Structure 1
Amino acid sequence: MRWVTFDCFGTLVDWRHGLRTSAELIAPGQGERLLEAYNRHEHAVQAESPRLRYRHVLAETLRRACAEEKIELSDDDATVAAATLPYWPVFPEVGAELSALRAAGWNLALLTNCDRDLIAGTLRRLPVPFDAVVTAEDAGDYKPSQAHFATFRRAHEPSDWVHVAQSYFHDMVPAHRLGIRRVWINRLGERAPDDSIIQRALPDLHGLLTAVQSG
Structure 2
Amino acid sequence: TMALNLAAFKAIIFDVYGTLVDWESPIYEGLIPIIKKNPACASWSRKDVLEAYCIVEATLEEQHPDWLYAKVLEESYKELDRQMSAAGEGTSGSEGDAIKFAESIRDWPPFSDTVVALRSLAKRYKLTVLSNVDHQSFAFTHSKLSDDTEHLSLYAHKPQPARTPLDPSLGFHPRRNPESKSPFTLVLTAQDTGAYKPSPLGIGAAIECIIKDPDCDVRDKSEILVVAVSLFHDIYPAHELGLKSVWIHRQGTRMGLNVEDNSPDLDPERVKRLGEGKWSLRFETLGEFAEEVEKGFADRR
Q: Normalising by structure 1, what TM-score?
A: 0.88
Which residue identity is paired with 2:14?
A: F
- Determine if the alignment matches structure 1 residue 132 to structure 2 residue 195: no
Indicate the residue corresponding to 1:2 in structure 2.
10
The code of the aligned residue for 1:88 comes to W
SS of residue paired to 1:125: helix
C-alpha contact 1:50 1:141 (8 A) present in aligned 2 = yes
| CA shift for structure 1 position 81 | 2.4
Identify which of 242, 249, 252 aligns with 1:179: 242
**1:110 paired residue number:** 129
Q: Which moves more between the two structures, 132-141 or 153-162?
A: 153-162
Residues 34 and 81 in structure 2, CA contact (< 8 A), matched pair in contact too: no
Aligned-partner Cα distance in 2 for 1:69–1:37: 10
| Deviation for aligned residue 1:120 | 1.0
Instruction: Quote the residue 1:81 is aligned against.
Output: 101
Contact 2:14 2:128 (8 Å CA) reproduced = yes
Q: Give 1:119's aligned amino acid.
A: F
Aligned equivalent of 1:122: 141
- Match for 1:165 among 228, 233, 252? 228
Contact 1:26 1:77 in 2 (8 A): no
Q: CA deviation at 1:192?
A: 5.1
What secondary structure does 2:65 align onto? Answer: coil
Unaligned 5+ segments in structure 1 are none
> Is the CA contact (8 Å cut-off) linking 1:3 and 1:107 kept in structure 2?
yes
CA distance in structure 1 between the partners assigned to 2:83 and 2:236 by the alignment: 29
Counterpart secondary structure, 2:112: coil
Quote the Cα distance in structure 1 between the aligned partners of 2:242 and 2:284: 23
Deviation of 1:69 after TM superposition, in Å, equals 2.4
Q: For 1:126-174, what per-residue CA distance to the aligned partner results, in whole angstroms no more than 9, with x for missing partners?
A: 1361111110011111101122222222222134211100000110011
Give the partner amino acid of 2:238.
Answer: A
| Contact 1:183–1:199, Cα closer than 8 Å, also in 2 | yes
* 8 Å contact from structure 2 (residues 197, 203) kept in 1: no
Percent same amino acid among aligned pairs? 29
Contact residue 34 and residue 66 of structure 1 kept, 8 A: no
Larger radius of gyration: 2
Paired with 2:241 and 2:292, the residues of 1 have a C-alpha distance of 19
- Is the 2:120–2:290 Cα contact (8 Å) retained in structure 1? yes
Conservation of the 8 A alpha-carbon contact between 2:249 and 2:285: yes
Q: Check 1:66–1:194 CA distance in 2 against 1; reply closer, same or farther (3 A cut).
A: same
Q: Could you say which residue in structure 2 is the equivalent of 1:199?
A: 280
Q: 1:99 and 2:153 equivalent?
A: no
Return the alpha-carbon distance in structure 2 between the equivalents of residues 117 and 200 of structure 1.
33
What TM-score do the two structures reach when normalised by structure 2?
0.65
In the alignment, the residues of structure 1 paired with residue 245 and residue 204 of structure 2 have an alpha-carbon distance, to the nearest angstrom, of 16
Query: Number of matched residues?
Result: 214
Question: For residue 48 of structure 1, what is the aligned residue in structure 2?
Answer: 63
1:32-85 deviation per Cα after TM superposition (whole angstroms, max 9, x unaligned): 464343123111111111212111111111112112222521112211222110
Which ranges of structure 2 fall in alignment gaps of 5 or more residues? 1-8, 148-180, 212-217, 254-267
CA distance in 2, matches of 1:92, 1:22: 21
